Amino acid sequence: RRRKATRSRWFGSMFAWILKTIPVIAGSSGWIARAAERCSAQRNVEYRRLDFIADALPAPLDLIVCSEVLYYLPDLDTLARLGERIAQALRPGGCLITAHAYVVDDDRTTSGFDWGHPWGAKSISRVLAAVPQLALERSVCTPLYRIDRGHARDQRQLGGNRNRAIRRQQQRGVEIAGQ
């Protein structure tokens, strides 16, 4: 717990110094209060409570970071729909960073945490890579965690052809959900 708080403090304060405005959005008012306390020196941080399944996401955004949160969604279909909403909230070229743990139930052939979640970093990466409006650029993988960086594609580049976007991602070696 202590280590996670230290990482969160460092991560949040790192962005607070380089970005003009940072909207911090979370589902928990307790988390927002702790984040506001940790980043009290940065006046460019705005805090909002938001249910990112039900509420509209603010847009356009340059960066969205989802850390240790996406495996709490009810199912992978909800994750896919949220991925599409995230892509719409990002400006073209805007960055999405996800950071999640590997979960035992996601892949029983490798190490992972046994937290009772049916899926983790591997499935999150696979499902988000299948969203045509998002392009996975790079992944950093450790034995227990995965961080993915991607960006929102310009809608004009998609030309409305979902299959062509998926084929391009497959050619780059990105795993696609359901394949």
Quick: pLDDT tens for 2-48. 333 334 455 555 666 566 666 666 667 777 788 788 777 777 777 77
Mean pLDDT (the chain, rounded):
78
- CA atoms of 40 and 28, how far apart (whole Å): 18
| pTM (predicted TM-score) | 0.75
Least confident of 106-110, 153-157, 173-177: 173-177
- pLDDT per residue as tens digits for the range 78-107: 999 999 999 999 999 999 999 999 999 888
50-53: long-range contacts, CB 8 A cutoff, minimum separation 24: 50/25, 50/26, 51/27, 52/25, 52/27, 52/82, 52/85, 53/78, 53/82
